[in-house]
Amino acid sequence: MKVAVLGAGAWGTALAGHLAAHNDAVLWARGSALIAELSSTHENTHYLRDIALPAALRYEADLAAALAHAAGDDALCVVATPVAGLRTLCRAMRDAQQVPVHLVWVCKGFEADTQLLPHQVIAAELAGHPSNGVLSGPSFAREVGLGLPVALTVASASQACRERTLAAFHHGAMRIYTGDDVVGVEVGGAVKNVLAIATGIADGLGLGLNARAALITRGLAEMSRLGVTLGGHAETFTGLTGLGDLILTATGDLSRNRTVGLQLAGGRTLDDILAALGHIAEGVRCAQAVLALARAHAIEMPITQAVCAVLFEGVAPRDAVSALLRRDARAE
């Protein structure tokens, strides 16, 4: 199958490497310097250092050429840009009149300014596109790049999209499950990043494993309340893209969002942390959107509120935790 991956960050690069083992895969990236490096070394030293990419994987700096590669009904286009770049990329597809037949995205979060989920951005920019969906689940790019086992879910209203995604990805150490709850999968992927920051803060303050378990469990309740209100299915949040992704991101040492929380607890400023990361921590970008949606729908999300207080209001991490502990008792 012909597959184009748009976006050469850590996740896009890892997925392209996996896809190239069984597909005719092209990885598109902005910038001729990065393309030259990828083509000559078969390694993405900035985002996925020390992981060799398959010799069969090809690289493309021309977006039109990458889109043309994935244009057919028997092809697939994978959007691996951050949520912040999704709208711009969709407009470029539309303006070039090169919208792929089958489109799946792997970005997680809410669009900061509009509080829209990725599928809503797609619907706004590519109105009437019939075959698209989201691929998500508990996954670190480095482990996928190393060929370690991983299970993901593709959610789409289109059977054709689910089938193309399954055919492209379900091989080697990667197992793909299918479903149709796009909203639930997207909400899980967005909110778990915010909750991972909270768990990192608690761990950084040395609050113990009891506190970590409480944060993950009560965080799952927050995620589920918001997701069901927005139209997701309750059962989605106990699956791979809800609880599974939350556990991984909140506890795994490779988690950028967890790292943000740990370092905030250690006294570093948010600007310094993000500058040193060199990668995007989506939880920071979408925390305010999550809280705004919760307030708009009168949903209690105290952990999310505490994270936003630390990130954007100058509240000390220990004070935010104390405020959580002072909340009135209630039935679970």
**CB within 8 A of 83, min separation 6: which ones?**
107, 108, 109, 110, 111, 112, 118, 121, 282, 285, 286
Name the residue range of residue 255's domain.
Answer: 185-325
Does residue 329 have a pLDDT over 80?
no
330 found inside a domain: no
Residues 191-209 have a mean pLDDT of 97
The overall average pLDDT reported for the chain is: 95
Q: Are residues 173 and 28 in the same domain?
A: yes
Q: Are residues 214 and 127 in the same domain?
A: no
Does residue 152 have a pLDDT over 70?
yes
CATH number at residue 224: 1.10.1040.10
pLDDT tens profile 31-64: 888 999 999 999 999 899 999 999 999 999 999 9
73 found inside a domain: yes
Q: What is the pLDDT of residue 32?
A: 85
Q: Are residues 170 and 214 in the same domain?
A: no
Q: Are residues 95 and 114 in the same domain?
A: yes
Residues 142-162 have a mean pLDDT of 98
Does residue 331 have a pLDDT over 90?
no
Q: Are residues 198 and 142 in the same domain?
A: no
Among candidate residues 252, 22, 57, 247, the one with its CA nearest the CA of residue 140 = 252
Q: Are residues 109 and 227 in the same domain?
A: no
Last residue of a domain, one of 180, 209, 230: 180
CATH number at residue 163: 3.40.50.720
Last residue of a domain, one of 140, 165, 180: 180
Greatest Cα pair distance in the chain: 60
pTM of the model: 0.96
What's the domain count of the chain?
Answer: 2
331 found inside a domain: no
Q: Tokens 């250092």: give the residue.
A: 49
Q: Are residues 235 and 88 in the same domain?
A: no
Q: Are residues 105 and 200 in the same domain?
A: no
Does residue 327 have a pLDDT over 90?
no
Last residue of a domain, one of 139, 159, 180: 180
332 found inside a domain: no
Q: What is the pLDDT of residue 281?
A: 83
Q: Are residues 35 and 135 in the same domain?
A: yes
Q: β-pairing, 150-155 with 132-136?
A: antiparallel
The fraction of the chain above a pLDDT of 90, given in percent, is: 91
Sign of CA pseudo-dihedral 293, 296, 301, 305:
positive
> Is residue 217 very low, low, confident or very high in pLDDT (cuts 50, 70, 90)?
very high
Q: Are residues 240 and 314 in the same domain?
A: yes
158 found inside a domain: yes
Q: What is the pLDDT of residue 302?
A: 97
78 found inside a domain: yes
Give me the active site residues, please.
192
Q: Are residues 173 and 230 in the same domain?
A: no
